[in-house]
Amino acid sequence: MGLAPVWRLRKTQAGGPSAGELADGDWITLKQAVPACTACALHKARTQTVLGVGDEKAQWMLVGEAPGAEEDRLGEPFVGQAGKLLDNMLAAISLKRGENVYIANVLKCRPPGNRNPEPDEVAKCTPFLKQQIALIHPKLIIAMGRFAAQTLLATDASISSLRGRVYKYEGVPLIVTYHPAYLLRNLPDKAKAWADLLFAKRTMASL
C-alpha cells in the first residue's frame, strides 16, 4: 500500500517504546521514540535528547560518545569545542557536517557532569544507534573514542590497539580513531588521528 513501515513493538508502554523494544522501523518512529525514552536515569536530567545530525543518506557516519552541556542545550551532537575540532578534521579530508556525513553518539542523553557513560546506559541506548545505522546504511563508520569503538565492536580493547584496521559492524566497514575531546587534551596524538582520517579516506575510495 506504500505506507511507511512502523516500528514493530514487542510491547507498548506509557511514554513510548524504549530502545530495547524497537524491532524495525523508520525515521519518523525513531524520532518519536528517542525523545520519549525513559529507559535509564539520564532522562531525568536531560534538557533534550540528541539523536544525531546530518544527511540521513550519508555514506560517512561518525559515532561519538554522548552529548555534553552544549549538545544537551542545542539538541545537536558535537557543537562544543570537540565539535569544532571534529568539523576541522572533516574539512581536512574535504568533508562537511551535513553533506554526505551523519554524526551520532552512543548515548542520546547527556551524562551529568559529562561523566563517562555507565554500562547499563550504553546497553539501553545502543538499540537506537543500531537502528540509526540500519536506516542510514552508511558505506563507512568512523568510531571516535573508546565508548563508540568498544560498543560497536563489542570489545574492551584500547583505541590504540584497534586503530589501523577495517572492521565490520552489521556488515558495514568500520574504522576506529581517537575522540576529538581526547585530542584536545593530547595534542601529540592529533598526528595519529590525521593518519586515521587518511586511512578512512583510502578505505572509502576502495569500497
Number of residues that bind ligand URA (CB under 6 A): 12
CA distance 23 to 19: 9
DSSP code for 20: G
By CB under 6 A, the residues from 88 to 117 that bind ligand URA are 105
Q: Does 181 bind ligand URA (CB under 6 A)?
A: yes
* Rounded least distance, CB 183 to ligand URA, Å: 11
121 Cβ neighbours under 8 A, 6+ residues apart: 40, 41, 42, 107, 109, 111
Residue closer to ligand URA (CB basis): 21 or 65? 65
By CB under 6 A, the residues from 46 to 85 that bind ligand URA are 64-68, 71, 77-78, 80, 82
Q: Does 42 bind ligand URA (CB under 6 A)?
A: no
CA distance 73 to 51: 13
For 143-166, letters b (16+ CB in 10 Å) and e give bbbbbbbbbbbeeeeebeebbeee
Residue nearest to ligand URA (CB): 64
* Rounded least distance, CB 207 to ligand URA, Å: 25
* Rounded least distance, CB 182 to ligand URA, Å: 10
SS3 assignment, position 175: strand
CB atoms within 10 A of CB 141: 26
Binding site for ligand URA (CB under 6 A): 64-68, 71, 77-78, 80, 82, 105, 181
